[in-house]
């Protein structure tokens, strides 16, 4: 698939993930107001979602069981850090903080993603990325309309920051997962692990787990409790997680995390359509700022990462010999082949001349996949 079409598909998946994640608040609200605990609603969401995805996950693994065994630790980590942690922390945060403040704290995870990529992967954010981050977060504040918030409970703030760590983990772990592991397996396995963790916390009394079976009010109609439970598990879990993981693999952790900011905008629109809550002008302005911030980050990602190196005086950029490996027809060995590139060498040196002692010999090596910036054709490193 051409790169532009691939990026377009990734953006579509990211927006779909954000929109479906945004429905969880509406579905959960109809359950909570009728006696369900928030934790029970979350457990229903990830537990049923894991069961629904299990057949598809098993089908995608046919003949590939070693892939599953190799990624058991990654699936467990994803289930704890990217599923159980953010949801558990967020619902504990709203016990002590207004929901808007708790959501803002959780979405500080996008800043953590940029910091993680800088600290661990040495991907220093450029000025445009930093500007996009500031603009997007400013827009998020406007969309949440946090004016008038009182003094914050430090316990709630800590829970909110824990949710931010979980959100950042979702984007990073999705982007760096094994490409051989189908996204549906990561989603199903992660939700299963998350359900087990939440159940364990409920059994030890750390989280309240109680539910009801009465009629609930949804979009002005009395419906069975099964309707919002199905919405939470199928729409806000199955579709949301699978599309989110797929988007992160295509776009990388940084871009997918910023596009995920649109979840707040979708949540406002869904509340408007379902609950009749018309967004205020300040929230519409915030949506524009979020879109602008995402655009800045996306443009920065598309900009070439490296330019031409400085050439010392009197040295031309004539072709040089580069040793690498390339795909070859059947029956032909994969021995090193010559690749002609451009580099700084003394004038008049032919491209096919042997490399004298002490001269730099370059080897073309593939970059490790995982983030969008790591999917380039290769990089040039000095031969050791």
Average pLDDT, integer, range 191-212: 88
Residue for token digits 């490790």?
368
Kindly indicate the confidence band of residue 15, based on its pLDDT and cuts at 50, 70 and 90.
very high
Among candidate residues 27, 7, 8, 24, the one with its CA nearest the CA of residue 218: 27
Residue 284 pLDDT > 50: yes
Kindly indicate the confidence band of residue 320, based on its pLDDT and cuts at 50, 70 and 90.
very low
Average model confidence (pLDDT) across the chain: 73
177 touches 254 (CB < 8 A): no
C-alpha to C-alpha distances, 78 to 20, 92, 106, 169, nearest whole angstrom: 20, 20, 17, 8
Q: What are residue 223's DSSP bridge partners?
A: 216
pTM of this structure: 0.64
Taking only the tens place, the pLDDT of each residue in 327-345 is 445 554 444 444 444 444 4
Q: Tokens at residue 267, please? A: 């949540």
Most confident of 51-65, 115-129, 307-321: 51-65
Scored b (16 or more CB within 10 A) or e, 352-366 reads eeeeeeeeeebbbee
Give CA–CA dist 72/74, Å, rounded.
Answer: 5
Beta-carbon count within 10 A of 97 CB = 22
Give CA–CA dist 346/353, Å, rounded.
Answer: 12
Q: Tokens at residue 264, please? A: 């707040």
Percent of the chain beyond pLDDT 90? 10
272 or 348, greater pLDDT? 272
Give the model's pLDDT for residue 1: 59
Give the model's pLDDT for residue 380: 29
Give the model's pLDDT for residue 279: 61
Percent of the chain beyond pLDDT 70? 71
Give the model's pLDDT for residue 303: 65
Give the model's pLDDT for residue 152: 65
Residue 309 pLDDT > 70: no
- Chain Cα centroid distance, residue 376: 20
Average pLDDT, integer, range 104-128: 81
Task: Kindly give the pairing relationship between strand 216-218 and strand 221-223.
Answer: antiparallel
Give CA–CA dist 159/88, Å, rounded.
Answer: 9
The dihedral through the CA atoms of 63, 64, 69, 73 has a sign that is: negative
Taking only the tens place, the pLDDT of each residue in 57-96 is 999 888 788 888 899 999 999 999 998 888 878 777 767 7
Most confident of 209-218, 279-288, 308-317: 209-218
Scored b (16 or more CB within 10 A) or e, 29-50 reads bbbbebebbbbbbbbbbbbbbb
163 touches 93 (CB < 8 A): yes
253 or 30, greater pLDDT? 30
Average pLDDT, integer, range 205-227: 86
Give the model's pLDDT for residue 143: 72
Give the model's pLDDT for residue 295: 72
76 touches 193 (CB < 8 A): yes
Ranges 5-19, 263-277, 364-378: which has the least confidence: 364-378
The dihedral through the CA atoms of 104, 176, 183, 49 has a sign that is: negative
End-to-end C-alpha distance for the chain, whole angstroms: 36
Residue 221 pLDDT > 70: yes
Give the model's pLDDT for residue 312: 43
310 or 237, greater pLDDT? 237
Taking only the tens place, the pLDDT of each residue in 33-50 is 788 887 888 899 889 999
Give the model's pLDDT for residue 318: 40
Residue 173 pLDDT > 90: no
C-alpha to C-alpha distances, 113 to 81, 110, 133, 171, 237, nearest whole angstrom: 14, 5, 11, 8, 22
Q: CA 203, 206, 212 angle in degrees (round to 5)?
A: 65
Average pLDDT, integer, range 168-175: 84
199 or 259, greater pLDDT? 199
Long-range contacts of 321-328 (CB under 8 A, 24+ apart): 321/351, 321/352, 321/353, 321/355, 322/362, 322/363, 322/364, 322/380, 323/361, 323/362, 323/363, 323/364, 323/383, 324/363, 324/364, 324/365, 324/378, 325/364
Q: Who contacts 273 (Cβ-Cβ below 8 Å, separation ≥6)?
A: none
DSSP count for the chain of H helices, then E strands: 16, 6
Kindly indicate the confidence band of residue 208, based on its pLDDT and cuts at 50, 70 and 90.
confident
Give the model's pLDDT for residue 151: 58
Residue 3 pLDDT > 90: no
Residue 358 pLDDT > 80: no
Give the model's pLDDT for residue 26: 79
């Amino acid at each position: 698939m051409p790169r532009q079409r691939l990026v377009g598909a990734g953006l579509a998946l990211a927006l779909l993930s954000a929109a479906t994640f945004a429905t969880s608040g509406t579905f959960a609200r109809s359950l909570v107001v009728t006696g369900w605990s928030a934790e029970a609603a979350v457990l229903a969401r990830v537990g049923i979602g894991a069961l629904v995805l299990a057949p598809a996950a098993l089908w995608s693994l046919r003949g590939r069981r070693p892939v599953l065994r190799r990624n058991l630790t990654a699936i467990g980590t994803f289930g704890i850090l990217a599923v159980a942690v953010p949801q558990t922390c967020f619902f504990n945060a709203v016990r002590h903080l207004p929901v808007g403040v708790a959501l803002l704290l959780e979405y500080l995870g996008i800043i953590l993603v940029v910091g993680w990529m800088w600290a661990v992967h040495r991907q220093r954010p450029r000025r445009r990325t930093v500007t996009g981050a500031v603009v997007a977060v400013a827009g998020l504040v406007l969309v949440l309309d946090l004016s008038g918030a009182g003094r914050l409970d430090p316990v709630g703030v800590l829970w909110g920051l824990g949710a931010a760590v979980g959100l950042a983990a979702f984007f990073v772990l999705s982007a760096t997962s094994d490409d051989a592991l189908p996204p549906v397996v990561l989603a199903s396995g992660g939700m299963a692990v998350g359900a087990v963790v939440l159940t364990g916390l409920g059994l030890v009394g750390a989280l309240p787990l109680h539910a009801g079976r009465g009629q609930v009010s949804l979009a002005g109609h009395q419906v069975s409790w099964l309707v919002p439970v199905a919405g939470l598990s199928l729409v806000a879990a199955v579709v949301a997680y699978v599309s989110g993981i797929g988007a992160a693999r295509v776009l990388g952790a940084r871009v997918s995390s910023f596009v995920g900011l649109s979840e707040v905008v979708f949540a406002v629109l869904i509340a408007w359509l379902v609950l009749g809550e018309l967004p205020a002008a300040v929230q519409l302005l915030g949506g524009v700022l979020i879109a602008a911030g995402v655009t800045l980050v996306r443009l920065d990602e598309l900009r070439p990462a490296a330019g031409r190196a400085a050439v010392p005086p009197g040295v031309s950029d004539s072709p040089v010999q580069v040793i690498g490996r390339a795909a070859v027809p059947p029956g032909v060995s994969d021995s090193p082949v010559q690749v002609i590139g451009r580099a700084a060498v003394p004038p008049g040196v032919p491209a096919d001349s042997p490399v004298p002692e002490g001269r730099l010999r370059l080897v073309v090596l593939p970059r490790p996949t995982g983030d969008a910036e790591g999917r380039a054709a290769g990089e040039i490193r000095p031969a050791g």
